[in-house]
């Protein structure tokens, strides 16, 4: 858009310069004609027409400059320091609050916060920053789970949905932490009237589920669908 406006402005400026040169040449011719007492009405008409075009092109240039100013303002507004920064800041703040809460529930030994680029800073002992690569696989999965839950909770605050699919999210997480995550998911399901469907290949505590579908693969697949009687 900016390139198009700039190109239009340059074309109009060239045309305006050409008109100004023509007017100046005609003025010289008019002066010569007057000196020789020749008819000048036709030449006066041409000069008047060129003056009108000059005014017209000036008006067009003014409008183009206005559009350039508006474009620059919008560009600044949506830049990293404008509305985008404000929107990201409004997202990051509550996400970091939720993240802290979920890490406590998951009994994580690390403190994690996201910056405006959505990069995570991981600290242990409250304030000592560490390299995320040094974290164990289980702890890394736990932190990623807390981040995902934080995003989910923020979305559910503003966007109603009634179903959520989670596929193999417990891989690499020990049984005790799986139970904690399931309890957190159950709280979210109750709070937001949300149906959460978890797909998992290993055995887990089924007491947190209202409905259980088991698929056993032998020669043919055997599917067992049942309500959890302990709920």
Domain end call among 42, 77, 112: 77
Residue 53: give the domain boundaries: 2-77
* Residue 112 contacts residue 143 (beta carbons within 8 Å): yes
168: left (phi over 0), alpha (psi -120 to 50) or beta: left
Q: What is the pLDDT of residues 162-202, one digit of tens each?
A: 888 888 877 777 778 888 888 888 888 888 888 888 887 77
43 Cβ neighbours under 8 A, 6+ residues apart:
26, 29, 30, 33
17 located within any domain: yes
67 located within any domain: yes
Q: What is the pLDDT of residues 153-167, one digit of tens each?
A: 888 888 778 888 888
pTM over 0.85: no
209 located within any domain: yes
Q: In 3D, which of 144, 160, 133 has the Cα closest to residue 102?
A: 144
Domain end call among 44, 77, 110: 77
What's the domain count of the chain? 2
């Amino acid at each position: 858009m900016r390139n198009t406006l700039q190109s239009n402005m340059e074309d109009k400026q060239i045309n305006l310069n050409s008109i100004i040169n023509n007017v100046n040449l005609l003025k010289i011719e008019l002066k010569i004609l007057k000196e020789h007492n020749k008819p000048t009405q036709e030449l006066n008409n041409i000069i008047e027409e060129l003056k009108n075009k000059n005014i017209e092109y000036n008006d067009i240039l003014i409008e183009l400059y206005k559009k350039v100013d508006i474009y620059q303002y919008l560009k600044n507004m949506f830049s990293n320091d404008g509305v985008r920064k404000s929107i990201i800041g409004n997202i990051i703040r509550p996400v970091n609050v939720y993240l802290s809460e979920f890490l406590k529930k998951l009994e994580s030994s690390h403190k994690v916060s996201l910056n405006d680029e959505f990069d995570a800073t991981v600290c242990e002992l409250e304030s000592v920053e560490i390299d995320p690569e040094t974290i164990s696989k289980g702890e890394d999965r736990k932190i990623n789970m807390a981040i995902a839950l934080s995003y989910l909770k923020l979305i559910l605050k503003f966007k109603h949905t009634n179903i959520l699919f989670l596929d193999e999210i417990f891989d690499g997480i020990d049984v005790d932490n799986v139970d904690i995550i399931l309890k957190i998911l159950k709280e979210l399901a109750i709070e937001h009237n949300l149906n959460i469907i978890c797909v998992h290949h290993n055995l887990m505590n089924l007491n947190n589920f209202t409905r259980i579908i088991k698929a056993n693969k032998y020669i043919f697949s055997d599917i067992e669908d049942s309500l959890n009687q302990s709920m």
